[in-house]
Amino acid sequence: MNIEQIYTGCLAQGAYYIESEGEAAIIDPLRESTPYIKKAEKEGAKIKYVFETHFHADFVSGHVDLAEKSGATIVYGPNANPSYEFHKAYDGEEFALGKIKIKALHTPGHTLESTTYLLIDEKGEEHAIFSGDTLFIGDVGRPDLAQKGDLTQDDLAGMLYGSLRNKIMTLPDSVIVYPAHGAGSACGKNMSKETHDLLGNQKKTNYALRADMTKEEFVKEVTDGLLPPPQYFAQNVAMNKAGAIGLDKVLEKGNVPLDVETFEAMANHEGALVLDTRHQRDFIKGHIPNSIFIGIDGNFAPWVGALIPDLQQPIIFLADKGREEEVVTRLSRVGYDNTLGYLQGGMEAWSSAGKDIQDMESINAAEFADRYQKGNIHVMDVRKPGEYEAEHVEDAESIPLDFISEQMDRVDPDKTYHIHCAGGYRSVIAASILKSRGFHKLVDVAGGYKDIKETEIPTTNFVCPTTQK
């Protein structure tokens, strides 16, 4: 028996490869099919099943393409009704895979079709669960994504309570928990950085699995402090229900070099958004006017999903040489399939063609502190609300990057804003968006709050996030 977790850091997502006696199963695959197929070929195995724990909201699964290429059967749990051929497992149904079995446990709550897959090893012992978004390490799935009609998030939270108590917590403490996500995912509130754990340890440390917890307490704690889900979640669910096209076709359209004139024409006359995926330092030094910065080396795909509302938005992009295919692939993982190409030669080609270039003022924390002490300075904190509430620069205005488009009316074009985040990535994203909307009195604070704390700038007293209400 072989179990391999295939973890993708930028999405904080875990897919799984399971193999026994030459038969393999993939659980919650990403958009690209090739890595799973090559893995099976290398192991001399045939992919028999593609198990989906639920209709994912935070990424587009490649299950349909993978099933077509491998001949595998797609399996969902009860209540799932996608528009393609699949096997609907009943609660308790077992699937043979070599000398092991995988048992479907219907665990609604995160969504109505949410299903946990229990692996029973060669000895017939309950070995591991692949819990999807039902149970994370240190947290549980948010219950507000599948509200329909009269079904509220409290109703779903109640279902989740029952699923955890009756289907998962009854399993042996020795069972390994393999979730679909870790820290950084918006599918939960406070997930651990660990990507797997023993169920027994989770029973001791996970707030939502307290043995003496009532249903009412569970519902209150699980729903308390939930931020609105990113706008792309509902669109990704729809794509996963309909079945997305294969990555091959997306790359064929999007991984295309464009000369300067074609690139400029697409931006100016065809409504294409110019996305700059280089490092923030490079963007600050010089960028194409009205381009949006979202660096490939940060939480790229989730920020694209949160900030670009239309999945059909035509996108053209700048990337470091050799990373063009990576950009198209990572855009497709969250449903942005209308990428039309990249600027061949990058900013060097743009500059050589005599095109306009803009830069951005950026200062370090020491210079920021000097300006702050002189007074009459406007500070914009673009971190998440919880980060701001925990600790922030005195008199700083909170405009979270997640909701910057909805709060644009709070920005005064006549004021000069010194913008910071935690480390310097999100502040440049925010500044690029503001610049594209006509705000130009902007100063980025490089190093963010991490460096600001090392100065004499006055900050509020720290409040532990776990005590915030």
Q: Give me the pLDDT at residue 9, please.
A: 86
188 vs 174, more confident:
174
Query: Which H/E stretch holds residue 161?
Result: helix 153-163
Q: Give me the pLDDT at residue 193, please.
A: 85
Query: Once rounded to an integer, what is the mean pLDDT over residues 357-369?
Result: 97
pLDDT at 187 over 80: no
Q: Give me the pLDDT at residue 469, please.
A: 42
pLDDT at 323 over 50: yes
State pLDDT tens for residues 255-307.
Answer: 999 999 999 999 999 999 999 999 999 999 999 999 999 999 988 999 999 99
Query: How does the average pLDDT of the chain come out, rounded?
Result: 95
Q: Give me the pLDDT at residue 127, please.
A: 98
Alpha helices of 206-332 — where are they, by DSSP H?
215-223, 232-242, 247-254, 260-269, 280-285, 300-307, 324-332
pLDDT at 212 over 80: yes
| 300 CB-contact burial (10 Å; exposed 0-12 / middle 13-18 / buried 19+) | buried
State pLDDT tens for residues 1-31.
Answer: 999 999 988 888 999 999 999 999 999 999 9
Q: Give me the pLDDT at residue 466, please.
A: 55
Percent of the chain scoring above 70 in pLDDT:
99
Query: Once rounded to an integer, what is the mean pLDDT over residues 199-218?
Result: 96
State pLDDT tens for residues 28-47.
Answer: 999 999 999 999 999 999 99
DSSP codes of every residue in 243-259? -PPPHHHHHHHHS-EE-
Q: Give pTM, 2 decimals.
A: 0.92
pLDDT at 189 over 80: no
The pLDDT-based confidence of 99 (bands split at 50, 70, 90) is: very high
| 227 CB-contact burial (10 Å; exposed 0-12 / middle 13-18 / buried 19+) | middle
Q: Give me the pLDDT at residue 465, please.
A: 61
Q: How far apart are CA 17 and CA 67, in angstroms?
A: 14
pLDDT at 457 over 60: yes
Percent of the chain scoring above 90 in pLDDT:
90
Query: Once rounded to an integer, what is the mean pLDDT over residues 70-92?
Result: 97
Are 247 and 329 in contact, with CB atoms under 8 Å apart?
Answer: yes
Q: Which tokens hold the place of 199?
A: 């169920």
Least confident of 10-14, 152-156, 423-427: 10-14
Sign, CA dihedral 197-202-208-209, equals positive
